[in-house]
Amino acid sequence: PIGDAEAGAEVFDYCVGCHEVGAGAENGIGPHLNGIFGRTAGSIENYKYSKGLTREGKLGMVWDLEHLDAYLTNPKALVSDTRMSFDGLDDKTERDDVLAYLRQFSDN
Ligand code: HEM
């Protein structure tokens, strides 16, 4: 990502009610986001996803920059029946920044 990871740590405030990332991160309302870049959608064991996200993963959707950007812009536009109740981030800079932040916790 081309964003600013430090600014992205603050954008992640929108996500922390539902997601953990970093050392010791666990699933909560949403799945943990360690290794999200390159992860198959809906693939964390022991987390109960919506049928929609599970289906997309089985169809081969992998969280790359393009898919993450689309999902964060408008989750239901990418996966109509996703259970992520989040309106999305309209601001591209905020999306770039939060993705740069998350990228630090991914090997891909
Ligand atoms: C799923 C990111 C905000 C609840 C996901 C996934 C990503 C993500 C990448 C897919 C994970 C996977 O396939 O394993 C983010 C980011 C957020 C955010 C970066 C902030 C900008 C939220 C908020 C909530 C939430 C605020 C709760 C109100 C969920 C849930 C899922 C999910 C329940 C599973 C969806 C399903 O099974 O369809 N999120 N999220 N997220 N997120 Fe978020």
Name the residue with the closest Cα to ligand 1, atom 24. 18
Residue-range domains of the chain with CATH: 5-103 (1.10.760.10)
Q: What is the distance between the alpha carbons of residues 43 and 50, in angstroms, rounded to a whole number?
A: 11
Residue 2 has pLDDT above 90, yes or no: no
Residue nearest to atom 38 of ligand 1 (CA): 82
Confidence band, pLDDT 50/70/90 cuts, at residue 17: very high
Distance 79 CA to ligand 1 centre (A): 12
> Locate tokens 């905020």: which residue?
94
DSSP state letters, 26-61 = --SSS---TT-TTPBTT--TT----HHHHHHHHTT-
Instruction: Answer whether residue 24 shows pLDDT above 70.
Output: yes
pTM (2 d.p.): 0.97
Q: How far is the CA of 19 from the centre of ligand 1 (A)?
A: 7
CB 4 within 8 A of CB 104: no
Per-residue pLDDT of 37-81, as tens digits, reads 999 999 999 999 999 999 999 999 999 999 999 999 999 999 999
Does the pLDDT value for residue 1 go beyond 70? no
Can you give the C-alpha Rg of the chain in angstroms?
13
